[in-house]
Amino acid sequence: MTRLDPRPSVIADRLKKVKKITAVTGWKGGIGKSVTASALALLLNEKGHKTGLLDLDLTGASCHFILGSGKAFPREDMGLIPPFVHGVKFMSISFFSKGQGVPLRGANVTDAIIEMLAVTLWGELDHLVIDMPPGIGDAALDALKFFPKARILAVTTPSPVARDVLRRSLAVYKAMKVPVAGLVENMGPKGVAYDPRLDAALGDPEKLLKTAFARRLEKVTRKFIGG
């Protein structure tokens, strides 16, 4: 036999007690996916849902900065148990990178994702929110493969360029039969407005939850957050 990678065999088991998985995507860079994913996880937790947040943007991890996860670190017990950051179980490559860059090619990204998914013990969760990297490269395709239950929360902006990319992304999700649960138009009149106070709240979950950004995001996503 050729070499056998044992790790994928346990990934589905690791997610067995996770009820809903939401992948926050958007194929353009810098449009607010990470602030949306982080704030959404905090909002879900605020409503009393058991919530996890997985930062899957290995080369551009951001959620640890947005949440201010500080010295939090996974606990080792038959695997890695994600620490609670402001009530949210949080997993990110940032725990292991010492604040340094993570220069990875696609195949390495996949390998690192498989490793993290195989050893992370999420336990029981009502919601797992995934912060996706921009685009539909290795990490995003891996996520859709390893999280077959995932639904998409698509982030876009009013920019015509972003809309054009969004249109193509929705067509691909449709073809892949990945359900799109919702759409957030960030920094636009109909969606979540530009919030000049948001940057000052980064790193402080209490403050972040009080921003106009988070409160508006709550309204926009209410239907699908529930309660």
Partner 1 sequence: MHEWALAESVIKAAAEHAAEQKMKRVSEVAVVFGELQAIDKEIFPFAMKELAKKHPLMSAAKFRIIDEPAAFRCRACSEEFDLKRFRKESDEAEFIHFVPEMAHSFIKCPSCKSPDFEITAGRGVYIKHIKGSK
Ligand X SMILES: Nc1ncnc2c1ncn2[C@@H]1O[C@H](COP(=O)(O)OP(=O)(O)OP(=O)(O)O)[C@@H](O)[C@H]1O
Q: Does 194 bind ligand X (CB under 6 A)?
A: yes
Q: Which is nearer to partner 1, 5 or 223 (CB)?
A: 5
Least distance (Å) from partner 1 to the CB of residue 188?
A: 36
Tokens matching residue 68: 């201010």
Residue 227 contact among Mg ion, ligand X, partner 1, none, beta carbon within 5 to 8 Å by kind:
none
Tokens matching residue 174: 């449709």
114-130 core/surface letters (b: 16 or more CB in 10 A; e: else): bebbbbbbbeebbbbbb
Tokens matching residue 18: 């996770």
Q: Which is nearer to Mg ion, 32 or 74 (CB)?
A: 32
Q: Which is nearer to partner 1, 77 or 190 (CB)?
A: 77
Q: Does 186 bind Mg ion (CB under 5 A)?
A: no
Q: Which is nearer to partner 1, 77 or 189 (CB)?
A: 77
Least distance (Å) from Mg ion to the CB of residue 190?
A: 22
Least distance (Å) from partner 1 to the CB of residue 124?
A: 17
Tokens matching residue 7: 């790790």
CA 92 – CA 113 distance, rounded (Å)? 10
Q: Does 123 bind ligand X (CB under 6 A)?
A: no
H-helix or E-strand containing 214? Answer: helix 212-225
Binding part of the chain for ligand X, among 104-112, 119-127, 140-148, 186-194 by CB under 6 A, reads 186-194
Given candidates 15, 187, 208, 209, which one binds ligand X under the rule CB under 6 A? 187
- Counted residue by residue, the chain has a size of 227
CA 33 – CA 106 distance, rounded (Å)? 21
Q: Does 138 bind ligand X (CB under 6 A)?
A: no
CA 84 – CA 49 distance, rounded (Å)? 13
DSSP type of residue 194 = P
Binding part of the chain for ligand X, among 28-36, 41-49, 68-76, 112-120 by CB under 6 A, reads 28-36
In 3D space, the residue among 23, 27, 20, 37 whose CA is nearest the CA of residue 171 turns out to be 27
- Using left for φ > 0, alpha for ψ between -120 and 50, and beta otherwise, residue 143 falls in alpha
Residue 79 contact among partner 1, Mg ion, ligand X, none, beta carbon within 5 to 8 Å by kind:
partner 1
Q: Kindly list the residues in this chain that would bind ligand X in the complex (CB under 6 A).
A: 26, 29-35, 57, 60, 62, 133-134, 186-187, 192, 194-195, 198-199, 202, 213
Residues that bind Mg ion (CB under 5 A): 33-34, 62
